[in-house]
């Protein structure tokens, strides 16, 4: 793995000349039979897999009308080609979004459209062969489902939906990805992606209480399974384990502490992430999310707040109500669920927290919009709030804030390069290359505006940048949680 090299950063990202198959040999590890079966999928490629795959694709076409529209409507206008970070970073022709879609579209045409059934060669229809299945596995695991291409598509074709459908079809015939499926199995068994059992969770949180006491002199609590707490915090388990995530968790705790809001974590639902979205399985998505409803009911909380996790906020904001709702047992005066940035921003704007932004004066901060938050959710109950609220929080706690270039932020943000179930070591080469557009934009503000830190609100983004920044000659510790900035600037113990 040491032979991975990053593309060189120049003044701007050149659109590469498409080349066939340069990334064809990079296949993510397949799930073992054990990992597959834990999710109810066949352990290995089933007999009669072609027919079963076609059948499953047909079911998806019937139940997800968008999918059929997306597969029908591409006119090959080319708008999407240079919008994908993986294409920009690798130059592989199949990483152009329209070409990626075509891997599934050709099969759709062959089996589900009249011209494709009668004259396949004339309409780009292809038989589902082993080679095609192989190309699906490779290239639908080189898509992070970030949906940037769909912003620029005049028809709004959502490549993420196509990629999710392809992964679901593959799981159904026994071809799954190790990274996602092993993790989903751990959530079913233990309650989080890490496989962090309750005693270890409690031990970690006790350690954090000591740390905060040592550094501030204040008893800030990190409660677990407290029945009757007002807020249930659902946060990615990386917040209990990884750097810089854990400082974000400390920030949430300080916010709740200082605002006097009683809160609790749940050992049963100790995970915000829901990787079932990445594999396109609604059934798995519901099962993963259901733990949260169960925990909220058992703990008799009044509110559910979601920590810094990009795709989790998409699942929570867009899907929870249909998956695990209704939330009529929660307090209707609050948005349910609510993002931690909404909670903090609201408290700051009401003067409920005393903030000393000079605590962050050593930092010049920029903000990386996470794809799922920016393109699939809202905050603050208004369009664009998902971009404004985190920035409002940062500006409140930090005097030096700088934007990266417009075509890389907001709803045009570039994926970190590790989203959509691709944050795995076996895809590191792709992750390094796919980070190119973000690294380019970051490097520019580092050079021109002396940016020292990039804040984010997604566990995947934070881990991905920690890993890939050094490949681009940047310091891995540049990446920081938004709530670390908050936590460092909160004046504890003082009330206005």
Partner 1 sequence: MAYEVNGQSVAADEEGYIINLAEWSEPLAKVIAQSESLELTSNHWEVINFLREYYSEFQIAPAIRVLTKAIGKKLGPDKGNNKYLYDLFPYGPAKQACKIAGLPKPTGCI
Q: Does 207 bind partner 1 (CB under 8 A)?
A: yes
CB of 113 to partner 1, least distance (A): 39
Nearer to partner 1, 194 or 394 (CB): 194
DSSP per-residue letters across 161-209:
HHHHHHHHHHHHTT--BHHHHHHHHHHHHHSSTT---HHHHHHHHHHHH
Site map (CB under 8 A) of partner 1, residues 138-177, x = contact: ----------------------------------------
Q: Which stretch binds partner 1 (CB under 8 A): 141-149, 204-212, 259-267, 281-289?
A: 204-212
Pairing relation of β-strands 263-264 and 231-234?
parallel
Contact 291, 315 (CB under 8 A): no
Q: Does 195 bind partner 1 (CB under 8 A)?
A: yes
Tokens of 350: 């009401």
Nearer to partner 1, 302 or 311 (CB): 311
Q: Is 60 helix (H, G, I), strand (E, B) or coil?
A: helix
Q: How far apart are CA 329 and CA 392, in angstroms?
A: 30
Of residues 418, 476, 451, 462, the one with CA closest to residue 89 = 418
Q: Which stretch binds partner 1 (CB under 8 A): 135-143, 146-154, 207-215, 383-391?
A: 207-215
The CA distances from residue 371 to 98, 387, 409, 414, in Å, are 19, 11, 9, 7
Of residues 148, 144, 180, the one with CA closest to residue 163 = 144
Chosen residue from 38, 153, 194, 490 binding partner 1 by CB under 8 A: 194
CB of 57 to partner 1, least distance (A): 29
Of residues 407, 405, 429, the one with CA closest to residue 418 = 429
Chosen residue from 10, 78, 199, 381 binding partner 1 by CB under 8 A: 199
Q: How far apart are CA 485 and CA 478, in angstroms?
A: 12
Beta bridge partners of 456: 481
Chosen residue from 129, 203, 349, 449 binding partner 1 by CB under 8 A: 203
Q: For the chain, what percentages of helix, strand and coil (3-state, to nearest 5) are there? A: 55, 5, 40
Nearer to partner 1, 172 or 267 (CB): 267
Nearer to partner 1, 89 or 307 (CB): 307
Q: Does 137 bind partner 1 (CB under 8 A)?
A: no
DSSP per-residue letters across 206-264:
HHHHHHHHHHHS------BS-TT-SEEEE--GGGGTSTTHHHHHHHHHHHHHHHT--EE
Q: Which stretch binds partner 1 (CB under 8 A): 14-22, 201-209, 346-354, 361-369?
A: 201-209
Q: Which stretch binds partner 1 (CB under 8 A): 82-90, 192-200, 320-328, 371-379?
A: 192-200
The helix (run of H) or strand (run of E) holding residue 454 is strand 453-456
Nearer to partner 1, 361 or 477 (CB): 477
Q: How far apart are CA 191 and CA 202, in angstroms?
A: 14
Scanning residues 235 to 294, which ones bind partner 1 (CB under 8 A)? 236-238, 240-243, 246, 273
Q: Does 459 bind partner 1 (CB under 8 A)?
A: yes
Chosen residue from 159, 344, 463, 481 binding partner 1 by CB under 8 A: 463
CB of 393 to partner 1, least distance (A): 21
Nearer to partner 1, 211 or 225 (CB): 211
Q: How far apart are CA 367 and CA 369, in angstroms?
A: 6
Q: Does 193 bind partner 1 (CB under 8 A)?
A: yes
Chosen residue from 22, 200, 359, 491 binding partner 1 by CB under 8 A: 200
Q: Which stretch binds partner 1 (CB under 8 A): 98-106, 144-152, 423-431, 441-449?
A: 423-431
Sequence-distant (6+) residues with CB within 8 A of 257 are 218, 220, 221, 492
Helix axes 159-172, 65-73, angle to 10 degrees: 120
Chosen residue from 100, 186, 254, 453 binding partner 1 by CB under 8 A: 186
Q: Does 224 bind partner 1 (CB under 8 A)?
A: no
CB of 239 to partner 1, least distance (A): 9
Nearer to partner 1, 193 or 366 (CB): 193
Contact 273, 292 (CB under 8 A): no
CB of 337 to partner 1, least distance (A): 19
CB of 30 to partner 1, least distance (A): 9
Length of the chain: 496
Q: How far separated are the first and last CA of the chain, in Å rounded?
A: 53
Beta bridge partners of 340: none
Q: Is 19 helix (H, G, I), strand (E, B) or coil?
A: strand
Size of the site for partner 1 (CB under 8 A): 40
CB of 194 to partner 1, least distance (A): 5
Q: Does 471 bind partner 1 (CB under 8 A)?
A: no
Q: Does 306 bind partner 1 (CB under 8 A)?
A: no
Q: Does 423 bind partner 1 (CB under 8 A)?
A: yes
Dmax (CA) of the chain: 76
Chosen residue from 34, 59, 425, 495 binding partner 1 by CB under 8 A: 425
Q: Which residues bind partner 1 (CB under 8 A)?
A: 1-2, 29, 179, 182-183, 186, 192-197, 199-200, 203-204, 207-208, 211, 236-238, 240-243, 246, 273, 309, 423, 425-426, 459-460, 462-463, 467, 476-477
């Amino acid at each position: 793995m040491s032979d991975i090299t990053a593309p060189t950063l120049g003044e701007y990202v050149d659109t590469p000349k498409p080349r066939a198959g340069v990334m064809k040999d990079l296949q993510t590890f397949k799930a073992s039979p054990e990992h597959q079966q834990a999710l109810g999928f066949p352990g290995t490629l089933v007999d009669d897999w072609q027919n079963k795959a076609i059948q499953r694709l047909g079911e998806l076409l019937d139940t997800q009308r968008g999918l059929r529209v997306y597969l029908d409507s591409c006119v090959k206008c080319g708008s999407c080609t240079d919008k994908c970070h993986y294409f920009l970073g690798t130059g592989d022709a199949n990483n152009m979004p329209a070409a990626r879609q075509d891997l599934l579209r050709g099969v759709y045409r062959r089996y589900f459209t009249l011209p494709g059934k009668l004259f396949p060669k004339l309409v780009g229809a292809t038989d589902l062969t082993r080679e095609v299945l192989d190309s699906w596995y490779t290239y639908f695991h080189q898509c992070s489902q970030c949906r940037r291409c769909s912003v620029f598509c005049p028809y709004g074709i959502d490549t993420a939906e196509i990629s999710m459908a392809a992964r679901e079809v593959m799981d159904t015939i026994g071809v799954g990805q190790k990274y996602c499926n092993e993790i989903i199995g751990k959530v079913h068994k233990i309650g989080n992606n890490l496989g962090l059992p309750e005693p270890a969770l409690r031990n970690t949180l006790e350690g954090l209480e000591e740390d905060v006491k040592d550094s501030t002199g204040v008893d800030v609590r990190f409660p677990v399974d407290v029945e009757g707490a007002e807020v249930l915090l659902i946060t990615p388990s990386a917040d209990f384990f990884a750097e810089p995530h854990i400082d974000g968790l400390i920030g949430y705790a300080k916010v709740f502490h200082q605002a006097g809001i009683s809160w609790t974590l749940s050992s049963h639902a100790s995970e915000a992430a829901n990787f079932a979205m990445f594999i396109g399985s609604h059934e798995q998505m519901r099962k993963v999310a259901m733990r949260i409803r169960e925990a909220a009911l058992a703990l008799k909380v009044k509110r559910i707040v979601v920590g810094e996790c990009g795709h989790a906020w998409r699942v929570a904001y867009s899907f929870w109500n249909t998956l695990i709702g209704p939330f009529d047992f929660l307090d209707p005066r609050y948005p349910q669920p609510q993002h931690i940035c909404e909670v903090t921003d609201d408290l700051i704007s009401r003067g409920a927290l005393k903030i000393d932004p000079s605590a962050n004066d050593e930092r010049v901060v920029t903000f990386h919009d996470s794809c799922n938050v920016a393109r699939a959710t809202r905050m603050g109950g208004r369009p664009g709030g998902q971009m404004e609220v985190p920035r409002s929080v940062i500006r409140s706690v930090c005097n030096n804030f700088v934007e990266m270039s417009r075509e890389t932020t907001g709803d045009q943000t570039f994926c970190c390069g590790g989203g959509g179930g691709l944050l795995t070591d076996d895809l590191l080469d792709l992750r390094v290359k796919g980070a190119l557009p973000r690294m380019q934009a970051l490097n520019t503000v580092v050079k021109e505006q002396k940016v020292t830190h990039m804040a984010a609100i997604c566990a995947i983004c934070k881990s991905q940048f920690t890993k890939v920044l050094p490949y681009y000659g940047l310091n891995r510790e540049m990446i920081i949680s938004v709530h670390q900035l908050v936590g460092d600037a909160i004046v504890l113990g003082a009330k206005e």
